[in-house]
Structure 1
Amino acid sequence: MTDQTATPRSFSASVPLKGRIAIPGDKSISHRSLMLAALAVGESRVTGLLEGHDVLATAAAMRAMGASIERSEDGEWRIHGVGVGGLLQPREALDMGNSGTSTRLLMGLVASHPITATFVGDASLSGRPMGRVIDPLGQMGADISASPGGRLPLMVRGLAPAVPLSYRLPMASAQVKSAVLLAGLNIPGITEVIEPVPTRDHSERMLRGFGAELDVEIDADGTRHIRIRGEAELKPQTIVVPGDPSSAAFFIVAALIVPGSDIIVTNVGLNPTRAGLVTVLQQMGGDIELRNARDVGGEPVADLRVRHSALRGIEIAPADAPSMIDEFPVLFVAAAFAEGRTVTTGLDELRVKESDRLAVMATGLAAIGVQAEESADGLAIDGSGGDPLPGGATIAGHLDHRICMSFAVAGLASRAPVTIDDIAPVATSFPNFETLLDQLQKDL
């Protein structure tokens, strides 16, 4: 049910999208920049930081545990860290808002420090299970008291020294991997994460960049053994955050489905563990051209030129899911405009995101006239062959920013407007989404 503070907005058939935009900084890298800088000794400087609600929740939490974090007028962030092992007892509960990433990664940090922290969040975050993180951190010695179902509010009582662990991920999750590695920073000896299916590797790259002793061994079957030596001494860094590929995804799909569109999205991070959507959309026939490919701070980036395209349905292998897990909601929208059927499987993790994204997307797509068949771990979508969708429905976003933006994109190529019941959650990850969309619609 929509509450009194909801901000509905309708999205209608769009003129061709034209022009050049720069998207906000990568959310995953922004979170980790603040956390690791707060554990370094000295001053780190970060530019391009995503200033959405989720990342600001991380900044507030690190301040509460002793770090000095300031933003200058020119947008540069300066962080004076406390050193690994130096986190202070927060005086109040850490309010994570809607940010599951902040919650899970910070639980890892607290788990191996001699402090106690209570984590709270909004209604959406409080409904998300944290058991996947509670289990390994508990094995390392942290005492975690959670609400029923392993949910927030929860309290983490850290242990120092905690116990090094060799932990095999039961399912692909960059957040669980990162939580264990971050806990391992302050544990004597070697902490190991065994990852059967590769997930985004920002934590590994950035931990090395800050000076942690971390190595990765890959078995013949592709299983990754990630080992970090504890009691690390992190060194301050200067970081330029690349554009978030998860945010770029909405404009990439919008340009592909709105006739006559031709846009350039600049400075998009294309880390191989994150770039699955671009590859899949190209396989579907999407005209996406990589320009000016380069490295920025150890992360590959490029400018993307995207033009309206005739898409075709394909079958997407479960092995491709980790490299585009956050982009599936908007991929489902692209599939709704393709010729033929798109089939996805292996998407169990979408059940425990900000919402049950499989169920919510299936319901919403059906409401705007799309044939979508939900299975236990995926969706099968029969596309329109490029024709506009009927539209004409109000979509319940379930306080999920990616659901809201995905159906906003669908509305741009529908006969009748698509209304989002509350567009406010978009600010958690993409505060200027609507501004950039308006810019592309006017830049003719």
Structure 2
Amino acid sequence: MPAGPLRGTIRVPGDKSISHRAVMLGALAIGETRVTGLLEGEDVMATAAAMRQMGAGAAKHADGWRIHGVGVGGLLQPAMALEMGNSGTSTRLLMGLLASHAITAAFTGDASLSRRPMGRVIEPLSRIGASFTPSPGGTLPLMMTGAPVPVPIEYRLPVASAQVKSAVLLAGLNTAGITTVIEPVATRDHSERMLRGFGAELEVEELDGERIIRVRGEADLTPQTIEVPGDPSSAAFFIVAATLIEGSDLTIENVGLNPTRAGLIDVLRQMGASIEELNAREVGGEPVADLRVRHAALSCIAVDPALAPSMIDEFPVLFVAAALAQGRTVTRGLDELRVKESDRLAVMAAALTAAGARVEETADGLIIDGTGGEPLRGTANARVKTHLDHRIAMSLAIAGLASQAGVEIDDTRPIDTSFPGFIPLIEGLRHSS
């Protein structure tokens, strides 16, 4: 039988994007930055370890994390390879950071990360003057040497990517003059907000539907006190679960609602979800609220491709919601999902089909015919492959809650990269209801 209702109040771990950036920018400020709510998953810990290797302090204390910065331009040559684990964000942002420092570094990662393309970051950073020796196919392991005299560039993003944008802006911090990034499609803007918070001179201009972002180099960053809001990508799994499971009434406290990240909430509301924002406030330049989510019947929609950048990581769990909605949900423009930790379109199509959903895979999206609220069949006696992808694993755990026989997945360990304690939190909610 499907799980009992999810009721009560929870908090999800701190926002991963903001946590990465808090550690990196804290390491570039001169003095002590204090961070509460930092996500202590493996990805962010990889960033912290890398910054320690390059001379910054990053340690957990009773009252949160303290980052002791070395100043822009003050990073030291790392003695060993920078081990990135599974973290594409750590890798791409740190490549940007190092591109304008005259030091050499080797980047390594796990099997999944070592398949992910780095060419989209290498291309603009090479223009700044950094040099790269990647593995064949432009992947990790990779060796890079930052530019001794970095050159400011103007770079138009060929593909919407917050990571590429952030890498170029971070390179610009230690580059004399103005570094410019042009975004034809707006992506998450945590880097811009936090750079301003740390005192960088950064301007954003809207022109002919594009965002033009300029940062002045040779910046002096000032240490900050940062409270990291709850990660909306982590909250997404519980929002969908409470929506799908009858009788649920769940409050998720302190969720970051940056408009460049909140696409899933907009889409679920269009489908009929009951998501109420309580105690809306602003923390450290980021909008935050508590979300009360109650069970609601969902209807299909055609998801606007323009929303994709604001919810790119939430599509796997949206596919689960669509599988139980009334009617046919169509998604398009999701080519980016094929080069994440796994090919998320192919993997979710196969997994949901195995669990009893009706799914058609297209070149750039999925078409899903929902059950109209009836639970999925589940996957009795069969383990579904997650391909070492944390978001696939968590999405399928939610599909399991909304199924008759449950969904057994092959490996839950990758979940710790972004959401330590995910499984116990679900179990606790189920047993307390």
2:174 corresponds to 1:190: no
Within the candidate set 304, 317, 330, 2:317 is matched to 330
List gaps (5 residues or longer) in structure 1.
1-11
Within the candidate set 195, 214, 228, 1:227 is matched to 214
Q: Aligned letter for 1:412?
A: L
**Counterpart residue number, 2:371:** 384
| CA–CA separation in structure 1 for the residues paired with 2:251 and 2:192 | 30
Task: Please tell me whether the aligned partners of residues 96 and 121 of structure 1 are also in contact (alpha carbons under 8 angstroms).
Answer: yes
Q: Aligned letter for 1:121?
A: G
Q: Aligned letter for 2:74?
A: G
| CA–CA separation in structure 1 for the residues paired with 2:329 and 2:108 | 38
Task: Please tell me whether the aligned partners of residues 57 and 97 of structure 1 are also in contact (alpha carbons under 8 angstroms).
Answer: yes
2:255 corresponds to 1:261: no
Within the candidate set 309, 317, 323, 2:296 is matched to 309
Per-residue CA deviation, residues 84-104 of structure 1 (Å, 9 max, x unaligned), is: 001100000000000000000
CA shift for structure 1 position 442:
2.0
Within the candidate set 31, 34, 46, 1:57 is matched to 46
**Matched ranges for 1:41-440 at <5 A:** 41-74=30-63, 76-220=64-208, 222-392=209-379, 393-440=382-429
Runs of 4+ in 1 over 3 A off after TM superposition: none
Per-residue CA deviation, residues 184-225 of structure 1 (Å, 9 max, x unaligned), is: 0000011000000000000000000001000011013x2000
Per-residue CA deviation, residues 322-377 of structure 1 (Å, 9 max, x unaligned), is: 11010000000000000001111111111111001111111111111111111111
Per-residue CA deviation, residues 247-277 of structure 1 (Å, 9 max, x unaligned), is: 0000000011111111000000000000110
| CA–CA separation in structure 1 for the residues paired with 2:300 and 2:251 | 24
Name the SS for the 2:277 alignment partner: strand
Task: Please tell me whether the aligned partners of residues 160 and 187 of structure 1 are also in contact (alpha carbons under 8 angstroms).
Answer: no
| CA–CA separation in structure 2 for the residues paired with 1:336 and 1:184 | 44
Stretch of structure 1 that moved more, 367-376 or 82-91: 367-376
Stretch of structure 1 that moved more, 363-372 or 268-277: 363-372
Q: Aligned letter for 1:110?
A: L
Stretch of structure 1 that moved more, 81-90 or 159-168: 159-168
Q: Give identity over the alignment, percent.
A: 71
CA shift for structure 1 position 163:
1.0
Task: Please tell me whether the aligned partners of residues 216 and 224 of structure 1 are also in contact (alpha carbons under 8 angstroms).
Answer: yes
List gaps (5 residues or longer) in structure 2.
none
CA shift for structure 1 position 169:
0.4
| CA–CA separation in structure 1 for the residues paired with 2:346 and 2:6 | 30
| CA–CA separation in structure 2 for the residues paired with 1:439 and 1:421 | 22
| CA–CA separation in structure 2 for the residues paired with 1:380 and 1:327 | 16
- TM-score, normalisation: structure 2: 0.99
**Counterpart residue number, 1:4:** none
Per-residue CA deviation, residues 398-425 of structure 1 (Å, 9 max, x unaligned), is: 1100000000000001111211100000
Task: Please tell me whether the aligned partners of residues 169 and 177 of structure 1 are also in contact (alpha carbons under 8 angstroms).
Answer: yes
CA shift for structure 1 position 139:
1.1
- Relative contact order, CA 8 A, sep 6+: which one is greater? 1
| CA–CA separation in structure 1 for the residues paired with 2:407 and 2:11 | 26
| CA–CA separation in structure 1 for the residues paired with 2:348 and 2:119 | 24
| CA–CA separation in structure 2 for the residues paired with 1:32 and 1:188 | 22
Task: Please tell me whether the aligned partners of residues 161 and 186 of structure 1 are also in contact (alpha carbons under 8 angstroms).
Answer: no
